[in-house]
Chains A and B, each alone.
Chain A
Amino acid sequence: MVPALRMAGITKHFNGVPACLDVDLEVAPGEIHGLLGQNGAGKSTLMNILLGLVRPDRGEVALAGEPAVIRDPNAARALGVRMVHQHYSLIPTLSVWENVVLSSEGRVDRDRTIGQIEEVSERFGLEVSPRAMVGDLSVGEQQRVELVTCLIDRPRLLVLDEPTAVLTRQESRSLFTMLRGLVEQEDCSVILISHNLAEITAVSNRATVMRGGRVVSRVSPKETPVAELARHMIGRDLPGPAQADVAAAIGAGTAAEGEGSRQARPAAADEAPVLSIVGATATSDGTRALDSLDLEIRAGEIVGVAGVEGNGQQWLSALLAGSLSLQEGEVRVHGKRVAVGRPGSTRKAGVGVVPEDRKTSGCILDMSVADNLALAGLKSLSRAGVVSRRKLHSLAERLVDDFDIAVASVDQPMRSLSGGNQQKVVLAREMSAQPAVLVLAQPTRGLDVGAVADLHERMRQAAASGVAVLLISSDLNEIMQLSDRIAVIYRGRIQGELARAEADPERLGLLMGGVSA
């Protein structure tokens, strides 16, 4: 049988870094094909190539046996390839039919479009009212609008990126019923990108597992144990705590110190936690942000929060930065309840946050390095309401020295610093406030090897000095190297916790895929 899609030898590098290496993907007509992998496995790049958003360095694409050159999304659409992205591309202030018209060609014909929408929504049982305003719809309804937009064109191949991440269980079930109908009756194939193992097992005929830009296995999920899928996804070679950090290699700290000091202080389980989050539940813009999340950290402990991105990590970090209010649950620091959601509440309680997007929420790019270092402690630097420039400068000079920040002058604008140095400024500021809890969200993203090693060493030092450290990262290597305990976050809740010694690829993979280990 001629495959509906054949991608062969797809290779793509970004600035010399491989995103896809010699990837082969084959999708049979009328099948739901699962595409499985962690962040950075190359799934998105592969799909962007299929959609014509990215051009491959090498490799061929053939649709139904015909070689295809897909230069842009329009070409992809003409060939019958459509995709529902994880973040919808709908315009909230327009109605459903107007949004549908946007992705079509030719004259705007309201009645015809509404007719088409009604026809498609009836055929697939996708309830959509064409005249409704998109902004008023729930996330599930918005997804149906995206689906209808794609299905009107009668695609041959439909790609869905994490379609159930934001859906309720009920909505997910009806989505899958619809997808089954689609592949059985309409001669359409579906590629389903997901990290939910149970889901892949339940609906897909075959699955391709990717890791580090390569295809690691092709399986029939229904005949493969979930645990094996998890192992494929994570890989076998998780770094253990004993593995030497780069820090040692480049001399940012001696190996003996790096290893010894961490082992020296295993937090006693009966010790009172410094930070405790109990049943934290919150929504944002109508979607679930946190779902009864529980987490505790003790002094001197590094707890790693692992998980596939988009499972609530950014909300956890927002909660601890004091910018997310809870509907249920509470946050306590040293046993004292914090009024989260109020500006500066958590900082006052002794929580320092190095946020994930340091450029937008960690620092002020148009202010000087000195100003950025002093941001949080301005009050202590001023007398009678006037900021002392002398004190501000001496503080900045001291922190620049202590944290080895490479600047020509502390008056230099923050914008002119490298990513690693910007990160150091944020870290220096948070550390200088002597926090009880230090939260670092994706702290090493975009940093070079030296900067990463330095940051890791500083985290270890912070923990050794009694700070409770929370490391939120989607880099499993980082989590494994640093954490005493690993909590896996899945859809806004902690799916499970593992001591570092218990953490193996299978257990982590299962938890990250939403299966209780």
Chain B
Amino acid sequence: MSTEVSETPVQEEPTPAPPGGGSRRGPDAAMAGLLASLRGSTRPAIEQVLAFLCFLSLGISVGLLLGWATGHDPGVILGDLFEGSIGDSISIGYLLTAAAPLLLVAVGAVICMRAGQFNIGQEGQVTLGAIGAGFVVFFVDGPGIVVIPLAFLAAAAAGGAWAFLAALLKFGRGVDIVVSSLLLVFLAEQLLTGLISGDGPLHDKGGGTLGAGTASQSPRVPEKAMLPTIDVLGVAVPFAFVLALVAAILVAWFLSSAHAGYRLRILGQNPTVAGTIGISASRLGSLAVAASGAFAGAAGAAILMGQSFQLNPGVASSIGWNGLLIALAARTNAGVSVLLALVFGAMVAGGGLLGGDGIPVDIVNVITAAIVVALLCPPVLLAAVRRRRLRRTVKVA
């Protein structure tokens, strides 16, 4: 017999929303829904792996197809991407250099997302981190072993403080953190531009670099403050990557085993329950946001001392956005973030070779975007399949 599903019992006198849950409206609530749907099916299942691989190759194919449509050989594109990222030990070094700041940002984003705080302003926090590191690098005189850790600390403090501003606005004045953290990105960019141009303290007043004195840029990072590399089986592994990897492992452990990590997850999963067991959303929530900002800030230091070696407008170069994307596509899992950061890094490193063959680097962005979509598709698709199955069983019953 088939019955209609719509005939569910209508409750007598619906009770109002649970007290203490706070008003969850606006972008925050939308993000909460998004995150919940992402978390939904982290269960490893063969169908999930198959779907993932399917969509991954689909994503790459779409990118290649676009290249082909614009008159470039897909074989060459694919070859360049492989060659430039894992072709030889130097390429692998490039890959890891590119992956390091992405991973740092992603790890931070994992922390605040798990705590249910939707800080999306990592791009700005990376910028602030680069500024903080810049002040140390250009003003502190000392050996690398002093300057580099100090620069990382300053970067983390600056990024953390910038994120904390958004948290203050949320818990103090009820401003949606999605909005405030986003808008702070543009403020950060203006701040950077101000500091590195004209009379700004970080402005390059002339030191032999191109555009010195006129362009909005800082001096070059002195050699002693450039991040070292560690030789592993012939590959020059950048220090920043080691740092990011350690951070990822520590955060994964922290979230799963530490008392504070438990509390963080409880807050993220159910703020109402968190409140009843004595977790203050404003205190722990702002700490989580500040921590995520600190990691993004450290990424800014890694960029300045490991990649760009100079501050210029847009020094964050979308690493904040991409890091956030990695955290979301990894469904707020620190371990998966490592893998994804490597994939993203490979795209950046491999993309470097495309120019030489006359292929626009934008193809890389298309492929990256397609991969992200591919990663987000399986859970959505599986949920749809599951729903349909459920409906069928209800109908049969």
| Interface set of A (CB-CB < 8 Å, partner B) | 14-15, 17, 19, 39-40, 43-45, 48, 53-55, 86-87, 162, 284, 289, 309-310, 314-315, 318, 321-324, 342-345, 347-348, 353, 355-357, 360-364, 366-367, 371, 375-376, 378-379, 382, 385-387, 389
List CB contacts (< 8 Å) of B239-271 with chain A.
Answer: 257-260, 262-263, 265-266, 269-270
Residues of B in contact with A, size category:
35 or more
- Please give 5 more A-B residue pairs, beta carbons under 8 A apart, in addition to A309-B13, A353-B276, A387-B262: A315-B19, A323-B19, A342-B280, A360-B21, A364-B266
> Nearest chain B CB to A412's CB is how many angstroms away?
12
Q: A343-B280, A343-B281, A363-B273 are in contact. Are A318 and B20 (CB under 8 A)?
A: yes
How long is the Cα–Cα vector from A296 to B246 in the complex, in angstroms? 55
Contact (Cβ within 8 A) B273 A48: no
> Nearest chain A CB to B238's CB is how many angstroms away?
31
Contact (Cβ within 8 A) B266 A375: yes
Q: Which of B19, B257, B273 contacts A375 (CB 8 A)?
A: B273
Q: A15-B9, A376-B277 are in contact. Are A361 and B272 (CB under 8 A)?
A: yes
Please encode chain B, from 119 to 132, with 1 for each CB lying within 8 Å of some chain A CB and 0 for all others: 00000000000000
Contact (Cβ within 8 A) A344 B12: no
**Residue of A with least CB distance to B39:** A366
Contact (Cβ within 8 A) B266 A386: no
List CB contacts (< 8 Å) of B7-40 with chain A.
Answer: 7-16, 18-21, 39
Chain A to chain B: the 8 pairs with minimum beta-carbon distance, closest first = A344-B278, A323-B20, A14-B9, A318-B19, A361-B272, A382-B259, A343-B275, A44-B12
How long is the Cα–Cα vector from A386 to B260 in the complex, in angstroms? 8
| Interface set of B (CB-CB < 8 Å, partner A) | 7-16, 18-21, 39, 257-260, 262-263, 265-266, 269-270, 272-281
How long is the Cα–Cα vector from A198 to B10 in the complex, in angstroms? 28
> Nearest chain B CB to A150's CB is how many angstroms away?
20
Q: Which of B8, B13, B275 contacts A39 (CB 8 A)?
A: B13
**Residue of A with least CB distance to B23:** A285
> Nearest chain A CB to B170's CB is how many angstroms away?
16
In the complex, which residues of chain B have a beta carbon less than 8 angstroms from the beta carbon of A344? 275-279
How long is the Cα–Cα vector from A385 to B21 in the complex, in angstroms? 27
In the complex, which residues of chain B have a beta carbon less than 8 angstroms from the beta carbon of A347? 276-278
Q: A284-B19, A385-B259, A386-B257 are in contact. Are A323 and B13 (CB under 8 A)?
A: no
17 A-B interface contacts by CB (under 8 A): A15-B9, A39-B12, A40-B12, A45-B10, A162-B13, A289-B19, A309-B12, A323-B275, A324-B20, A343-B278, A344-B276, A345-B278, A348-B278, A367-B265, A375-B273, A379-B259, A386-B257
> Nearest chain B CB to A381's CB is how many angstroms away?
8
How long is the Cα–Cα vector from A379 to B20 in the complex, in angstroms? 23
How long is the Cα–Cα vector from A15 to B18 in the complex, in angstroms? 27
Contact (Cβ within 8 A) A367 B269: yes
Q: A39-B13, A53-B10, A323-B20 are in contact. Are A343 and B279 (CB under 8 A)?
A: yes
